[in-house]
Structure 1
Amino acid sequence: MGNTVSCCVSPGGSPKITRQPDRIEDYQVNTDLSEDTGPYLQHISDREVPDDLALESNPSDHARPSTIFLSKSQTDVRDKRKSNHINHVSPGPLSKKYSSCSTIFIDDSTVSQPNLKSTIKCVTLAIYYHIKNRDSDRSLDIFDEKMHPLSREQVPDDYSRIDPEHKLIYRFVRTLFSAAQLTAECAIVTLVYLERLLTYAEMDICPCNWKRIVLGAILLASKVWDDQAVWNVDYCQILKDITVEDMNEMERHFLELLQFNINVPASVYAKYYFDLRSLADDNNLSFPLEPLSKERAQKLEAISRLCEDKYKDLSKAAIRRSFSADNLVGIRRSQAVIS
């Protein structure tokens, strides 16, 4: 999936970055290897936390636990429903379209090809709830906008006390995605990295650091997901006043805080996509619906058949490449004829 990070970890110490590269694949990790025992390659499972703890605290690594943003948003959703019930507030006319026997409404957003505009709205709404319902204001200096401003405009004195509106977050993310021509899938991976950072580093996204954290997550997600990655210097063309050295330093810290774990399993990606759909339903963010026409039904059927054929070919190739003794049970062999 795009560019990946390759590193070797020694049991004696943490990786040391020799320089500040401009892209992820340029990272060079040095380790002290013993001449007597030879190189020691620690398996990734040895560096992971136990399953019980991982399932409880790392929803960005496993598909079973619920996403953090969805749980944080439920407080506001319950309060809003309770207030409407107590005050007898009418929900008003239904704006959502529902399918019937004669008409089926579908949207153009799928887990493999999400709608870009709707996905960005949902992702920024998730970030909004992260900031609004945060537990505290734990942060790091590298993400503090006062210490590392993104523009030459003076940062207000109350920058750390006023929560940003959802529109402000959406405008910031939309500008980056539009200028860098990033995809909707990249937005979902951005949210995965953001929640993974908050979990691993035990910090909060708050008014003083949300812009730099979101920028770091987008920077990393664009390099991991897209084959034609955007260089750090390209982001400096979008944010005119930020330096490439600052981008490199922030990216290096982001990777270190993630413990260089940039892998996003398909099950985790799918979980975040459907939780974002649930978030949209709870907040009346409707995806664009259109009646299912005959031409579109034929197109969907053709795409489905194409995917089925593709996965069948991949599974056959995987069996040929990874043939093991476990598969020998079901194989018929002709008996030898001894004369």
Structure 2
Amino acid sequence: MGNTVACCVSPRGSPKITRPPDRQEDYQVNTDLSEDTGPYLQHISDREVPDDLAPESNPSDHARASTIFLYKSQTDVRDKRKSNHINHVSPGPLSKKYSSCSTIFIDDSTVSQPNLKSTIKCVTLAIYYHIKNRDSDRSLDIFDEKKHPLSRERVPEDYSRIDPEHKLIYRFVRTLFSAAQLTAECAIVTLVYLERLLTYAELDICPGNWKRIVLGAILLASKVWDDQAVWNVDYCQILKDITILKDITVEDMNEMERHFLELLQFNINVPASVYAKYYFDLRSLADDNNLSFPLEPLGTERAQKLEAISRLCEDKYKDLSKVAIRRSFSADNLVGIRRSHAVLS
């Protein structure tokens, strides 16, 4: 997959996500033997769910379906705006920078190269709303931190009843990304896998399981996204040096990864359209919660770089168009030759 994608609330207000149709039959391999072709192995494109199968039930699979985290955040956003309006709370001085005739502000975050710090803040805020505005506390033993603790300290008795704050989730994820040197794109794919897990397995991310679910999603996303695969034993060594975590065995990591893949039905493909949807929904989440991306004035040097990149992309598309025209012309000639040959014969 590399650096290219797709090749790669209250409990009363959260959406009702239905489980997608059982796709076990999609992964069955045809073992009929043929003298000419041998055993037939189904292609991965044949395993994908057709577009006409209720896209609203698969937000992590279809670009048209709304992300769950953005929906769950809207309840808090509306309540905050309503409270400010009723109590006549002033929004305060504007902290966001706006472009003018003399100055243009742009940020360095794009779909292909998101800002790392801002992206992790937004992803962890999405996880926070998943926990805060969950439907119930559905979970599995493999993700239960009381049965499989990650912290060096003893897990408190009321751990599963206290919702973690956003800064706690952010610190946990930021430490993992810093230690493993992961990219911002990996954070977005992590959120895609997390919502796919909650949808497929009909689970809820809760105070008692969020650390292990997030760790499993990061582990899988880093392996799918990065060009160089990271072994689980390497992850254990990385996590060993993190003060917030205790020593994790390779067997525990392997078991959690295996369960995660099985619950995802081994669907680790992330279409480019889905990745882009999550990126822009995260930016919307940032705007709703005053988490602005860093803006810098557009200077002469940066403007020249943008112009050079624009020209490079324009030349690239021109070359692709020429190739497409030549192929189309060659195909038309081939059809014409075949027709002429048929008439003469």
Using structure 2 for the length normalisation, give the TM-score.
0.81
Shift of 1:306: 2.5
1:56 shift after superposition = 1.2
Cα–Cα, structure 1 residues 274 and 211, in superposed 2: closer, same or farther, change >3 Å? same
Match of 1:292 in 2: 298
Question: Shift of the alpha carbon at 1:263?
Answer: 0.7
Give the deviation of 1:257 after TM superposition: 0.8
Return the offset for 1:305.
Answer: 2.5
Question: Which stretch shifts more, 113-122 or 9-18?
Answer: 9-18
Q: Does the Cα contact within 8 Å between 1:9 and 1:41 map onto a contact in 2?
A: no
Deviates more, 1:96-105 or 1:169-178: 96-105
Report which stretch shifted further, 305-314 or 210-219: 305-314
> How far does residue 66 in structure 1 lie from its aligned partner after superposition?
1.0
Q: Deviations over 1:9-42 (max 9, x none)?
A: 9999999999999999999999899999973534
Can you list the C-alpha shifts for 1:88-138, whole angstroms capped at 9, x where unaligned? Answer: 111111000011111111011111111000000000000000000000111
Structure 1: runs of 5 or more not aligned: none
Helix, strand or coil: the match of 1:322?
Answer: helix
The alpha-carbon deviation at position 6 of structure 1 amounts to: 15
Shift of 1:322: 11
Between the aligned partners of 1:242 and 1:254, the Cα distance in structure 2 is 17
Q: Distance in 2 between matches of 1:37 and 1:144?
A: 47
Query: Is the 8 Å Cα contact of residues 69 and 126 (structure 1) preserved in structure 2?
Result: yes
Cα distance between partner residues in 1 of 2:231 and 2:220: 10
Moved more, 133-142 or 315-324: 315-324
Q: Is the Cα–Cα contact under 8 Å of residues 2 and 227 in structure 1 kept in the other structure?
A: yes
Return the offset for 1:228: 2.1
Alignment partner of 2:340: what SS? coil
Q: Residues 322 and 242 (structure 1 numbering): CA distance in 2 closer, same or farther, change over 3 Å?
A: farther
Deviates further, 29-38 or 209-218: 29-38
CA contact 1:60–1:195 (8 Å) conserved in 2 = yes
Q: Give the corresponding residue for 2:258.
A: 252
Alpha-carbon separation, structure 2, partners of 1:293 and 1:197: 44
* 1:25–1:68 distance in 2 versus 1, CA, 3 Å: same
CA distance in 1, matches of 2:284, 2:326: 40
Partner SS state of residue 52, structure 2: helix
Per mean C-alpha deviation after superposition, the further-off stretch among 15-24 and 94-103 is: 15-24
* 1:308 CA drift (Å): 3.7
Look up the SS of the partner of 1:79 in the other structure. helix
Once residues 99 and 33 of structure 2 are traced to their aligned partners in structure 1, the CA distance between those partners, rounded to angstroms, is 63
Displacement of 1:235 after TM fit?
2.1
**C-alpha RMSD over aligned residues:** 8.1
Question: Aligned-pair distance for 1:329?
Answer: 6.8
Deviates more, 1:298-307 or 1:28-37: 28-37
Partner SS for 2:338: coil
Which has the larger displacement, 126-135 or 314-323?
A: 314-323
CA gap 1:307/1:35 in 2 versus in 1, 3 angstroms = same
Paired residues of 2:5 and 2:272 also in contact (CA < 8 A): no
Structure 1 residue 276 displacement after superposition: 0.4
Are the structure 2 counterparts of residues 21 and 9 from structure 1 closer, same or farther at C-alpha, using a change threshold of 3 Å?
A: farther
Alpha-carbon distance, 1:65 to partner = 1.1
Residues 26, 47 of structure 2: 8 Å contact kept? no
User: Matches of residues 192-271 of structure 1 in structure 2 within 5 Å?
Assistant: 192-237=192-237, 239-271=245-277
Deviation at 1:335, TM superposition (A): 11
> How far apart are the structure 1 equivalents of 2:275 and 2:310?
20
Alpha-carbon distance change, 57 to 7 in structure 1, aligned in 2, over 3 angstroms: same
- Do the aligned partners of residues 310 and 335 (structure 1) sit closer, same or farther apart at CA in structure 2, a change above 3 Å counting? same
Contact 1:143 1:213 in 2 (8 A): yes
Q: Deviations over 1:23-82 (max 9, x none)?
A: 999999998999999735345566555534441111111111111100000000000001
Q: Would you say how many aligned residue pairs link Structure 1 and Structure 2?
A: 339
Distance 1:15 1:8 in 2: 28
- Conserved? CA contact 1:111–1:273, under 8 Å: yes
Task: Report the CA distance shift for 1:338/1:66 in structure 2 as closer, same or farther (over 3 A).
Answer: closer
